[in-house]
Amino acid sequence: MKNPADPETLPDTAAAPFFSVVMLYWNSERFLAPALDALEQQTCRDFELILLDNGSPEPLSAEALAEHPLLPLRLLRSENNLGFAGGNNLAARSARGEYLVLLNADAFPQPEWLAELRAAARRHPGACFASRQLKADDPTRLDGEWNVYAASGLAWRKAHGQPLEKAWPAEREVISACAAASAYPLSAFREVGGFDEDFFAYLEDVDLDLRLRLLGYPCFYLPQAVVRHVGSGSTSARSEFALRHSHRNIIWTYVKNMPGALFWLLLPAHALVNLAYLLAAALTGRGSTIARAKREALKGLPAICRKRRQIQAGKRLSALRFARLLEWNPFAPLVKLRFR
């Protein structure tokens, strides 16, 4: 039997699986064993696993994979940290499945997870899918359901931290899937060019999904497709890195993707939200970080506007249909103004 760390474990001549599961590794060895255990226990076996060591300072060892010889696994390595965006793009280039499935190394799917995704793909051919995420240390609470995208340009995980009994009970169309546990038709992922690598990390999944929605690919939330998620297993959500990238990418996501008249109609609200962030951050000692993020966002606008022209020229979804997927409650984002 070949070493599971050998990138040739799955030869290209093997029959293509239905799912290509991509997992990035970056300083996450403490989570890797339970994540691989969970994949090994999947009732749907029609998948390959592409594991990318994303330039981790703690390189992934062959010993860490030796306990999972039955996983259909290919190990790839990048000398540099390409971020969530670049790392997934690199791994996806070698994917052979009909569906590309993204799973964080700190996310542990229940045994029926892939089976539920496959059943949904039969019900909704060509659609993308979001999973129900439970907190890994307290599965009675939600880590999130899908990404909400507000008319103001803010984004957040639906029901993050809420009790499980408040979870959305049924399958429904949504605007964006949290890429910690999500699925996309591989052809659609490649059609939109994958993740925008200029984002590096944070909101890159929202940006990807908005581009997919604009091309007419729907997304459905599947409450029966369940994973337990640690969250921020590689980086802290409160770190300067996280704040800088998320607050820069808020602007880039809006400019690239908000279609037609909605862009100009909602631009004052978007500007006001960004100003509110700056003021609130200044009051909590994080003003310099947020100000730097906004400067970087403005500096990158010429390139972002070029991307916008290409995206909007190719869109197949009307602005009205897009608007129906947005969160229009002006008070919903207020609870997201946290900087500590």
Question: Do 308 and 256 contact (CB within 8 A), yes or no?
Answer: yes
97 in the same domain as 186: yes
Backbone φ, ψ for residue 171 (5° rounding): -60, 140
H or E stretch including 210? helix 204-214
pLDDT band at 250 (very low <50, low <70, confident <90, very high): very high
78-82 LR contacts (CB < 8 Å, sep 24+): 78/52, 78/53, 78/54, 79/55, 80/55, 81/26, 81/54, 81/55, 81/56, 82/54, 82/55, 82/197
Q: Which domain holds residue 213?
A: 19-229
Query: Averaged over 176-205, what is the pLDDT?
Result: 97
174 in the same domain as 51: yes
Task: Tell me the torsion sign for CA atoms 12, 13, 19, 23.
Answer: negative
**57 CB-contact burial (10 Å; exposed 0-12 / middle 13-18 / buried 19+):** exposed
pLDDT of residue 98: 98
Question: What are the helix and strand counts (H, E) for the chain?
Answer: 11, 12
DSSP secondary structure of 71-119: S-EEEEEESS--HHHHHHHHHHTT--SSEEEEE-TTEEE-TTHHHHHHH
181 in the same domain as 50: yes
pLDDT of residue 236: 54
pLDDT band at 69 (very low <50, low <70, confident <90, very high): confident
Backbone φ, ψ for residue 207 (5° rounding): -60, -45
Query: Averaged over 152-175, what is the pLDDT?
Result: 96
**339 CB-contact burial (10 Å; exposed 0-12 / middle 13-18 / buried 19+):** middle
Q: Cα separations (Å) of 8 from 19, 23, 75, 102?
A: 18, 17, 8, 21
272 in the same domain as 211: no
248 in the same domain as 127: no
Cα 260 to its chain centre, rounded Å, is 25
Q: What is the CATH number of the domain that holds 78?
A: 3.90.550.10
Of 194, 229, 264, the position where a domain reaches its end is: 229
Tokens of 115: 């089976």
Alpha carbon distance 204, 208 (integer Å): 6
**Average per-residue pLDDT for the chain:** 91
Alpha carbon distance 326, 35 (integer Å): 33
pLDDT band at 334 (very low <50, low <70, confident <90, very high): low
Residue 199 has pLDDT above 60, yes or no: yes
Of 201, 229, 257, the position where a domain reaches its end is: 229
Residue 8 has pLDDT above 50, yes or no: no
Cα 82 to its chain centre, rounded Å, is 15
Does residue 3 sit within a domain?
A: no
Report the domain count for the chain.
Answer: 2
Of 229, 249, 271, the position where a domain reaches its end is: 229
Nearest Cα neighbor of 330 from 129, 153, 99 is 153
Alpha carbon distance 224, 148 (integer Å): 19
Does residue 310 sit within a domain?
A: yes
Does residue 64 sit within a domain?
A: yes
Reported as a single tens digit per residue, the pLDDT across 282-311 is: 998 889 999 999 999 999 999 999 999 999
Alpha carbon distance 237, 234 (integer Å): 9
| Residue 269: half-sphere exposure toward Cβ, Cα within 13 Å | 19
Residue 168 has pLDDT above 70, yes or no: yes
218 in the same domain as 113: yes
Please identify which residue in the block is written with the tokens 């009790």. 163
Nearest Cα neighbor of 65 from 96, 14, 29 is 29
Alpha carbon distance 288, 222 (integer Å): 40
Does residue 6 sit within a domain?
A: no
53 in the same domain as 122: yes
Lowest mean pLDDT across 28-32, 131-135, 262-266: 28-32
pLDDT of residue 235: 52
